[in-house]
Amino acid sequence: MVDTEAAASRPHQHDTREAVLFGGVYGSVLACSMVAALTQYGHTSQDSRRYDAAWLLVSALASALAHGYAHYIAERAPHRRGDALRTLADEWPLIAAVLPTVALLAGAGWGWWPANGVEYLAFILNISLLFALGLVTARWSHRPWTIAIGIGVVDAMLGVVVVVANAVIK
C-alpha cells in the first residue's frame, strides 16, 4: 500500500520528458528572443558576436536559476538536504537548448564563419529545434504521426512569432 500522505509531502519530481520539453521549448524561445534583441542594432562584428554568445549563456543560466528557485520555493512540502541543488539541476534542458545558438554565435565571434547574418541561421536553428522537440515529445506520448507533426509545427510557430515580432519592431 502506498502511503499517500508521505507521497504528498515529497517535492514534485518532474518527469524527464516533461523537463526536456519545457526546458527545450523555453530555451529555444529564449535563444530566439535574445538573438533578436542582441542584433537589433545591426552590430555584426566578431566582438559583438562573442558578446552575444556570452549574454545568451548568462541569460540562460539566470533563467534556469530563477525557474529552479521558483519551483523549489513553490513546493509546499518540507525539503530535505540537497533538494535545492536537485531542483536547480533539473533545469539542464533549458541550458542545453541554448548551447547550439551559443556555439553558433561564438563560432562567428571566433571567425569560424561570417559574423554578418548569423542571426538568421540562429533563428532557423531554433525554429528547427522547436519543431523537433514538439515532434519527438508527441511521439513519446504515442500520438499518431499526423498529430505529432502538427504539434511540432505549433511549437515551431513560437520561434516564428519571435522572428516576425523582431522584424515588425525593427
Tens of pLDDT along the chain (170 residues) come to: 444 444 444 545 556 777 778 888 889 999 998 888 887 776 788 898 999 999 999 999 999 888 877 877 777 666 677 776 777 778 888 999 999 999 999 999 999 999 888 989 999 999 999 999 999 989 988 999 999 999 999 999 988 998 888 778 77
Q: In angstroms, rounded to a whole number, what is the distance separating the alpha carbons of residues 88 and 107?
A: 28
Largest CA distance in the chain: 64
Cα angle, residue 22 at apex, residues 139 and 7 outer, rounded to 5°: 95
pLDDT at 65: 87
The alpha carbon of residue 144 and the mean position of all alpha carbons in its chain are separated, in whole angstroms, by 25
pLDDT at 39: 76
The three-state secondary structure class of 44 is coil
- Percent share of the chain, pLDDT over 90: 42
If you ran DSSP here, which 8-state letter would residue 43 be given?
-
Closest CA to 87 of 10, 140, 7, 21: 10
